[in-house]
Amino acid sequence: MSNDTATPPTASHDEPVHGFELKRKRQWPWIAGIAVVALGVTAAVGVPLLNPAKSANEIPGATLLVATAEGNAAEQALVNFVAENVAPKYGITIDFKGLSDSNTINRAVSEGEVAGTIYQHKLWLGQVLESNPDFALTAAVPVFRWGFGLYSEKYADVDDIPDGATISLYSDPANESQGLWVLEQAGLITLQEGVDESRATQDDIATNPKNLQFVLLDFAAQSRALPDLDAAVGYTEYYLAANIPLSKQIFAPATPDDFAGQLTIGTDYADTENVKNLVAAFNDPAVQEFLANDPSVKDILLPLKAR
For residue 64, which of 283, 290, 269 has the smallest C-alpha distance? 269
Q: What pLDDT does residue 306 have? A: 56
At 114-125, the pLDDT tens digits run 999 999 998 889
Same topology, domains 62-147+258-302 and 148-251? Answer is yes
For the segment 98-113, what is each residue's pLDDT rounded down to a tens digit? 999 989 999 999 999 9
pLDDT confidence tier of residue 174, bands split at 50, 70 and 90: confident
| CA–CA separation, 237 and 253 (whole Å) | 16
List, in order, residues 6 or more apart from 7 with CB less than 8 Å away: none
Alpha-carbon gap, residue 300 to 295, rounded angstroms: 10
pLDDT at 23 over 50: no
The rounded distance, in Å, linking the Cα atoms of 34 and 40 is: 10
Residue type, 103: N
The predicted structure's pLDDT at residue 247: 97
Amino acid 48: pLDDT: 39
Cβ partners under 8 Å of residue 242, min gap 6: 220, 223, 224, 226
φ, ψ at 43 (rounded to 5°): -65, -40
- Which pLDDT does position 30 carry in this prediction? 35
Amino acid identity at 305: K
Cβ atoms of 240 and 247 closer than 8 Å: no
- pLDDT above 90 covers a percentage of the chain that reads 75
For the chain, the structural domain boundaries read 62-147+258-302, 148-251
Mind listing the pLDDT tens digit for each residue in 250-292?
A: 999 988 888 899 999 999 999 999 999 999 999 999 999 999 9
- Confidence bin at 1 (pLDDT 50/70/90): very low
pLDDT for residue 37 is more than 70 = no
Sign of the torsion formed by the C-alpha atoms of 210, 215, 219 and 223? negative
Condensed to tens digits (0 to 9), the pLDDT of residues 196-220 reads: 887 899 999 999 999 999 999 999 9
Comparison of pLDDT for 173 and 264, the residue scoring more = 264
What are residue 213's DSSP bridge partners?
Answer: 166
C-alpha–C-alpha distance, residues 283 and 304, integer Å:
11
| Mean pLDDT estimate for the chain | 85
pLDDT at 28 over 50: no
pLDDT at 41 over 90: no
CB contact set of 281 (below 8 Å; sequence gap of 6+): 82, 86, 87, 89, 90, 92, 94, 287
Q: Which CATH architecture has domain 62-147+258-302?
A: 3-Layer(aba) Sandwich (3.40)
Q: Return d(Cα 282, Cα 87) in angstroms, integer.
A: 8
Contact 279, 263 (CB under 8 A): yes
Q: What is the DSSP letter of 121?
A: -
Does the pLDDT value for residue 47 go beyond 50? no
Q: Could you give phi then psi for residue 106, rounded to 5 degrees?
A: -70, -35
| pLDDT reported for residue 293 | 96
| Beta-bridge mates of residue 262 | 120, 142
- Residue 289 CA to residue 283 CA, distance in Å, equals 11
Homologous superfamily in CATH for domain 148-251: Periplasmic binding protein-like II (3.40.190.10)
pLDDT band at 127 (very low <50, low <70, confident <90, very high): confident
Residue 21 has pLDDT above 50, yes or no: no
